[in-house]
Amino acid sequence: MIPIKETFLSIQGEGYYAGQSSYFIRTQGCDIGCHWCDEPDSWSMNEGVNMSFNTLVHDIQKTNTQIIIFTGGEPLMHDLTSVSDNIRNYGYKLHLETSGAYPLSGQWDWITLSPKKIKPPLSEIYPFASELKIIIYNNNDFDWAIDQARKVNKSCLLYLQPEWSQIEKMKSKIFNFLSHNPRWKLSLQMHKYLNIK
């Protein structure tokens, strides 16, 4: 098994599936180093729990959710082939949230690609992105959004998501961008407004 920081049942707070009950598996380990990261405790590769697969599935089965979301940390720092195949055998829908900076492993029903400028995605992942989520922290991020959208497939959904501390500062610029780029939509971190995980 891969090192896991935590598992929990919550709602997806972001993107197309916002509001959907989901079971989260937060993997341990990330070397991207976003200065605004919500989960810096997930960075170390020397922590996390090596939960057995049977324990994990037993925990999932106590919930009624059908969606399992791998998040991080950066899940693709681990080979997810085995764990995703095994969970899929139980009939669950599997979602992945990734920066795309490491090789894609596992099979997924939905991939949220959230590229980071300091360690951009590998080119191989763009065709598989179901949604592209660009975090807006400053003005340069709008150009980054346009650049990244050129690389995904035509059916990929496009979201701008203001970094939590910058919402007031960036919201009028985001609204302006959305009005000129109708393929893009706004994603807000619903779980933070509800003060839940």
Which residues of this chain interact with ligand SF4, rule CB under 6 A?
30, 32-34, 37, 39, 42, 72-74, 99, 116
Strand-pair partners of 159: 133, 185
> Least distance in Å: CB of 30 to ligand SF4?
3
In our burial notation (b when 16+ CB lie closer than 10 A, e otherwise), range 121-131 reads: beeebbeebbb
- Shortest distance, position 43 Cβ to ligand SF4, whole Å: 6
Q: Which distant-in-sequence residues (6+ apart) come within 8 Å of 62 by Cβ?
A: none
SS3 at position 163? coil
C-alpha–C-alpha distance, residues 30 and 25, integer Å: 14
Cβ closer to ligand SF4: 106 or 121? 121
Residue number with CB closer to ligand SF4 (12 or 42): 42
Cβ atoms of 65 and 21 within 8 Å: the answer is yes
Taking the complex as a whole, the smallest distance from the CB of residue 175 to ligand SF4 amounts, in Å, to: 24
Query: What's the closest the beta carbon of residue 107 comes to ligand SF4, in angstroms?
Result: 22
Both tokens assigned to 130: 């179901």
Asked if the peptide bond before residue 73 counts as cis, ω within 30 degrees of 0, the response is: yes
User: Which of 32, 174 has the CB closer to ligand SF4?
Assistant: 32
In the bound state with ligand SF4, the residue whose beta carbon lies nearer, of 93 and 119, is 119
In the bound complex, what is the minimum distance in angstroms from residue 73's beta carbon to ligand SF4?
Answer: 5
Query: Please, which residue, 4 or 92, has the CB nearer to ligand SF4?
Result: 4
